[in-house]
Amino acid sequence: MKIKGKRLVVVSNRLPVTIDKNDKNEWEILPGAGGLTTALSPVMEQNQGLWIGWPGPVRGERVQTLVETFSKKHTYNLQAVSLTQPEVDRYYHGFSNETIWPLFHDLLGRTNFDKINWETYIAVNRRFARAISESAKRGDIIWVQDYHLMLVAEFLKKMQIKQPLAFFLHIPFPSLDLFRRLPWKREIINALIQFDMIGFQTLRDRRNFVQCLKALIPEVGVFIKRRQTLILYKSRTIKVGNYPISIDFEEFNSLAQKKEVSDAAWYLHENMRKKTIILGLDRLDYTKGIPERFLAFERALEKYPELQEKVSLLQIVVPSRTMVPDYQNLKELLDTLIGRINGKYSKHGWIPIHYMFRFLDRVQLLGHYKACEIALVTPLRDGMNLVAKEYCASSIDCKGVLILSEFAGAAAELSGGALIVNPYDVEGTADAIYTAFNMDQKERAGRMRLLRTRIKRNNVYRWVDKFLASFSGEDPLREGELEELEPHGREVPDMNIWIKQTQVAEEKEEGKEFSSSPSN
């Protein structure tokens, strides 16, 4: 998407590159492989943009040299924000991932409220804001990414930055009951509404945010226009919308057709003795529901003995934060569960759970997607979950079945074709495994075609285009375009009626997104 006459400035915790030593023991900088990098790099190149972020643990003049090397090879620039190790420990590992991450994923019991971590989070956000203010030019569009940098807009406003500011939250936004537990909730909510536009993954996240905003700042006005909620506060209008992120469908679809991927899939199936393979693929994290998944699979083997020796769960866990005690404990729990289940059910020539704790390269990743007849994607809570979408995009023969948690953001888009489960419901998930195993090819193909159509239509490039088009649009407050749901400064006679009107209006707009495809 070309933004006429404007430069896009993207700000994220990490730069979209990896800096490491190569086989010759020389430092090199390479483009990152994440979904956000894939989506935004073409837009950044078209607009000669600037990406600001932390380069990783490498510091000093070496970073500047590598960043300049990258910028010469691409048509957009990088700007590094350096962090000390104590700042990484307290801002990133501390407040971002021990406070915000578990709280926003509905796991209050794992949340650590530490004042020093909070103060470091403030300091680092201020440093990012300073880096932006030093580089921003007139006419720039500044787009800040994710929960690490929720305070940036407030500091930029204090620095008299006039450029439009946007924010996108990639993780869920919690309900009011959870958010109010945060000691610094007012500081964060006030900082967020300094942005001119705030984007969320799902309608539920958007509603949660508006509910928290109304509870903490009762004087705000709330309106709805098409797919956006408009917040009126102190003579400002803040746009709030939901824009589900996605993947590059064509990339996965085309790579899945390559010979090396087909060979990897064939080899995997041969090694599994041609059993039906259920795939679990997750980063090591307590939000992913891996222990609950193991228990559901165990229950399926117990409840439906005919599954034994016919189906195996292939669980791949990608190492993450392995030095954090909670994650070490999770890995120990997984090891214990696997040992117990395999010890109980294994028979000669058949092991119920095959487990790998490792990274997969792109060919092996798509080979696993292509080989597995069932994907079990059951996070306890997830902003979106792109594994579900990658699996469907790689299922070019339409023989796969997706079992998906209702608490993944992707469920809002994929519920028509996936089998939706509650990951806390061991019995229900076990039943879904049995249903998927016995599903005939006609139903499999119909469901998968629907999923692939939706993902192809709502790909990652459409996500970028829709967000930026919405952000850079004209002033939304034009007469005749608004339905006033809660007038500013006036009580609503019946709150229940207002809530119902809000839900009906939003769900009507949400439904238009997928109306081109019938639900199964």
Q: What is the pLDDT of residues 417-457, one digit of tens each?
A: 999 999 999 999 999 999 999 999 999 999 999 999 999 99
d(CA 128, CA 134): 10
Helix (H, G, I), strand (E, B) or coil at 379: coil
Per-residue pLDDT tens over the stretch 331-378: 999 999 999 999 999 999 899 999 999 999 999 999 999 999 999 999
Which pLDDT belongs to residue 475?
A: 43
Q: In what order do the strands lie in the sheet with 77-80?
A: 77-80, 50-54, 8-14, 141-145, 165-168, 197-200, 236-242, 228-233, 221-225, 483-486
In the chain, CATH 3.40.50.2000 sits at: 8-242, 249-457
Say whether 382 is catalytic.
yes
Query: Residue 151: pLDDT above 60?
Result: yes
Amino acid letter for position 12: S
Burial bucket for residue 496 (CB in 10 Å: 0-12, 13-18, 19+): exposed
- CA atoms of 403 and 435, how far apart (whole Å): 10
Q: How would DSSP label each residue in 71-126?
A: HHHSSSEEEE----HHHIIIIIIIIIIIIIHHHHTT-GGG----HHHHHHHHHHHH
Residue 170 bears catalytic tag: yes
- Tell me, what's the pLDDT at 3? 63
Q: What share of the chain is helix, strand, coil (3-state, %, to 5)?
A: 50, 20, 35
Which CATH superfamily does the domain covering 249-457 fall into? Glycogen Phosphorylase B; (3.40.50.2000)
Cβ-in-10-Å burial (0-12, 13-18, 19+) of 173 comes to buried
Question: 155: number of CA atoms within 13 Å, CB side?
Answer: 20
Q: What average pLDDT does range 267-275 have in this prediction? A: 87
pLDDT at 60 over 80: no
Report pLDDT for 480. Answer: 38
Q: What is the pTM of this model?
A: 0.89
Looking at 146, 196, 282, 382, which residue is catalytic?
Answer: 382
Give the amino acid at 265: A
Q: In CATH, what number does 8-242 get?
A: 3.40.50.2000
pLDDT band at 51 (very low <50, low <70, confident <90, very high): very high
- Residue 17 has what pLDDT? 87
Range in 66-75, 85-94, 150-159, 273-282 with the lowest mean pLDDT: 66-75
- State the catalytic residue, choosing from 74, 93, 170, 354: 170
Q: Reply yes or no on whether the pLDDT at 515 is more than 90.
A: no
From the list 495, 416, 403, the residue with the least C-alpha distance to 453 is: 416
27-31/50-54 β-pairing: unpaired
158 three-state secondary structure: helix
Quick count: other Cβ atoms within 10 Å of Cβ 15?
A: 24
Whether the CB-CB separation of 424 and 287 falls below 8 Å is answered with no
Range list of β-strands (E), 287-334: 311-318
Mean of pLDDT over the chain? 88
Q: Is the pLDDT of residue 485 over 90?
A: no
What per-residue confidence (pLDDT) applies to 506?
44
pLDDT band at 243 (very low <50, low <70, confident <90, very high): very high
- For the CA atoms of 331, 333, 339, 344, the dihedral, rounded to the nearest 10 degrees, stands at -150
Residues 6+ apart with CB under 8 A from 267: 367
Task: Quickly count: other Cβ atoms within 10 Å of residue 60's Cβ.
Answer: 8
